[in-house]
Amino acid sequence: MKIALAQLNYHIGNFEFNTQKIISNIEAAKGKGADLVVFAELAICGYPPRDFLEFDEFISLCENAAREIAKHCTDIACIVGLPVRNDVLQGKDLFNAAYFIEGGKVKAITKKALLPTYDVFDEYRYFEPATRFKCIDFKGKRIALTICEDLWNINDNPLYVSNPMDELIKEQPDVMINIAASPFSYTHDEERIRVLADNAKKYKLPLFYVNQIGAQTEIIFDGGSLVFDAEGEKKAEMKSFEEDLQVFDLEEVESVRNKYPEGPRATDIEQIHDALILGIRDYFKKSGFTKAVLGLSGGIDSAVVCALACRALGAENVMAVLMPSKFSSDHSVQDALGLANNIGCMHEIIPIKEAAEAFDHMLAPAFKGLPFNLTEENIQARIRGTVLMAMSNKFGYILLNTSNKSECAVGYGTLYGDMCGAIGVIGDVYKTQVFELAKYINKEREIIPVNTIVKPPSAELRPDQKDSDSLPDYGILDKILYEHIELKKGSARIVAAGYDEALVTRILKMVNIAEFKRYQTPPILRVSPKAFGMGRRMPIVGKYMI
């Protein structure tokens, strides 16, 4: 039996687009002689559909699309993910399910049992977990079909009390197929291979796994679909961050040779780089926009975002706006211009002096001579936000946010100022990783001026300001933040890991007091196992660690 894995980029709720893409891949798989073509979890509507699932009409549109797809499943069978209604009165009204379609008809419906409800996942919000399991017979082979998380309950601290494969194995299947929507993080590709290999070994079955690719606002799917033999040896790995359609012979799975990637695995920074480019590109494509605007300060964050945006959208579609103030150093403008010239994007220089003076004058009666402080620093940042949004409004550019994860974490940014934007490009990338990204971007030639990389980071909102005036060294800061955010440690456990207690307490307080700011920030492209946004839900008026 020949099995095609179709690793595709879906668009949430865009049924016409998804259906046409699925049908054209059914035809392509037929052309390649496949007996069965497998699409990802919730392929028909895209993942995650979130509260669209609560609209009855949305489910009907999924059903209509499936009927259209079924018409093309002659001379080939197909497995495709979609939400289906729960006919039983008790329990949630939907299942996260897959159709097995053969001879133009739905022959079997497989339902997901283990519903991820953590981090960015909310599946139990919508779906009833399956409690009954049955294999699918096709062309003399018995298929144990599961959906994503259903294979993920085999670690040391299992999150669920049941395990669907333990039921399915009783029917003595010949092969496992798993359809997934498994988002990227820089730790995830190797974990995925390990978990799936463990399944193949445990159940002594070959395993075909298909993932999605593409970004859905902040969540990025990286693909990397996989084939394992019954010993758990990885026989094939499909492309990362690209669509891919490959056909494998089940009978010959032992002799399949790894088709992709050749060579060593991509480093974390390479993966993050590729993920961010896909994230930017899909945000624009799926929103129907082509052009981006961003503020270019001469610092490293905006330089890296500018370089990524130019790769994602084409330099001709990126407008960099330089907005010097009286506190901007000469090198800021030089470095920003250097980057714009190296990379060939559009740029404008719009000094903010006039607006700053206007606010000073307008506010003088109310401020009654109080001294310059954070207020005036924030006004500068908000003038820049207003200028960027004006460029966005006037010309239809979409504003990219350039805040990094370290400053998002400690609240070192101005709400409605430098925290503006439609999508946060590097909001899940710590400052120390931003430096690595800059070096990676410069690996072949100097795109980001070296001075941008080597000079001390500064917000330049008051004379001779440096980040280090109010923040610890980023090398230390990022390590403490990682302990707290990714590893979910409170102060006692971080101190026990060898950090200064006063410093840890101060940083954790900064993080938790900034929750009100993060609530209002743009969605952030997720590249780590714990990004700010939907995947991290903290109280705002709580009083813990502050």
Tokens 């865009």 belong to which residue?
Answer: 14
Task: Select the residue interacting with a second copy from 57, 330, 444, 464 (CB under 8 A).
Answer: 57
- Rounded to an integer, what distance in angstroms lies between the CA atom of residue 375 and that of residue 193? 51
Burial classification of residue 470, based on how many CB atoms lie within 10 Å of its CB (0-12 exposed, 13-18 middle, 19 or more buried): exposed
> Is 302 part of any known ligand binding site?
yes
7 forms beta bridges with: 244
Contacts of 357 (CB under 8 A, 6+ apart): none
Task: Report whether 146 contacts 178 (CB < 8 A).
Answer: yes
- Rounded to an integer, what distance in angstroms lies between the CA atom of residue 542 and that of residue 243? 44
- Contact positions with a second copy (CB under 8 A) in 403-442: 415-416, 420, 422
What is the maximum alpha-carbon separation in the chain? 86
Task: Select the residue interacting with a second copy from 27, 31, 56, 139 (CB under 8 A).
Answer: 56
Task: Select the residue interacting with a second copy from 31, 33, 55, 446 (CB under 8 A).
Answer: 55
Strand pairing class (207-210; 2-7): unpaired
- Rounded to an integer, what distance in angstroms lies between the CA atom of residue 287 and that of residue 21? 18
Residue 182: what residue type? S
Residue 108 three-state SS? strand
Query: Is 11 or 234 the residue whose CB approaches a second copy more closely?
Result: 11
Site string for a second copy, 229-268 (x = CB under 8 A): ----------------------------------------
| Residue 86 token pair | 């729960």
Q: How far is the CB of 354 from a second copy (least distance, A)?
A: 4
> Is 297 part of any known ligand binding site?
yes
Task: Select the residue interacting with a second copy from 139, 374, 451, 468 (CB under 8 A).
Answer: 374
310 assigned to active site = no
Binding segment (CB under 8 A) for a second copy, from list 298-306, 384-392, 475-483, 498-506: 384-392
216 in contact with a second copy (CB under 8 A)? yes
Query: Is 331 or 536 the residue whose CB approaches a second copy more closely?
Result: 536
Q: How far is the CB of 363 from a second copy (least distance, A)?
A: 6
Tell how far CA 252 is from the center of its chain. 35
Residue 160: what residue type? Y
367 in contact with a second copy (CB under 8 A)? yes
306 assigned to active site = no
279 in contact with a second copy (CB under 8 A)? no
Task: Select the residue interacting with a second copy from 72, 112, 489, 526 (CB under 8 A).
Answer: 489
243 assigned to active site = no
Task: Select the residue interacting with a second copy from 64, 172, 393, 468 (CB under 8 A).
Answer: 393
Task: Select the residue interacting with a second copy from 314, 351, 472, 529 (CB under 8 A).
Answer: 351
Strand pairing class (207-210; 175-179): parallel
| Residue 286 token pair | 């799926």
Tell how far CA 441 is from the center of its chain. 20
Query: Is 497 or 540 the residue whose CB approaches a second copy more closely?
Result: 540
Query: Is 157 or 255 the residue whose CB approaches a second copy more closely?
Result: 157
Residue 536, phi then psi, degrees to nearest 5: -140, 105
Beta strand spans in 376-510 (E): 398-401, 423-424
Active-site residue (options: 73, 78, 135, 148) = 148
Binding segment (CB under 8 A) for a second copy, from list 64-72, 280-288, 429-437, 497-505: 280-288
- Rounded to an integer, what distance in angstroms lies between the CA atom of residue 76 and that of residue 35? 5
Binding segment (CB under 8 A) for a second copy, from list 19-27, 53-61, 176-184, 189-197: 53-61
Burial classification of residue 503, based on how many CB atoms lie within 10 Å of its CB (0-12 exposed, 13-18 middle, 19 or more buried): middle
Site size toward a second copy (CB under 8 A) is 98
348 in contact with a second copy (CB under 8 A)? yes
Binding segment (CB under 8 A) for a second copy, from list 23-31, 33-41, 228-236, 490-498: 490-498
- Contact positions with a second copy (CB under 8 A) in 113-142: 115, 117-118, 122, 124-125, 128
Query: Is 171 or 357 the residue whose CB approaches a second copy more closely?
Result: 357
Binding segment (CB under 8 A) for a second copy, from list 264-272, 347-355, 404-412, 457-465: 347-355
Active-site residue (options: 2, 21, 112, 405) = 112
> Is 214 part of any known ligand binding site?
no
Q: How far is CA 44 from CA 101, 238, 252, 298, in A?
A: 14, 21, 30, 44
| Residue 510 token pair | 């900064």
Query: Is 123 or 237 the residue whose CB approaches a second copy more closely?
Result: 123
> Is 470 part of any known ligand binding site?
no
Phi-psi region of 23 (alpha: psi -120 to 50; beta: other; left: phi over 0): alpha
Residues assigned a catalytic role: 41, 112, 148
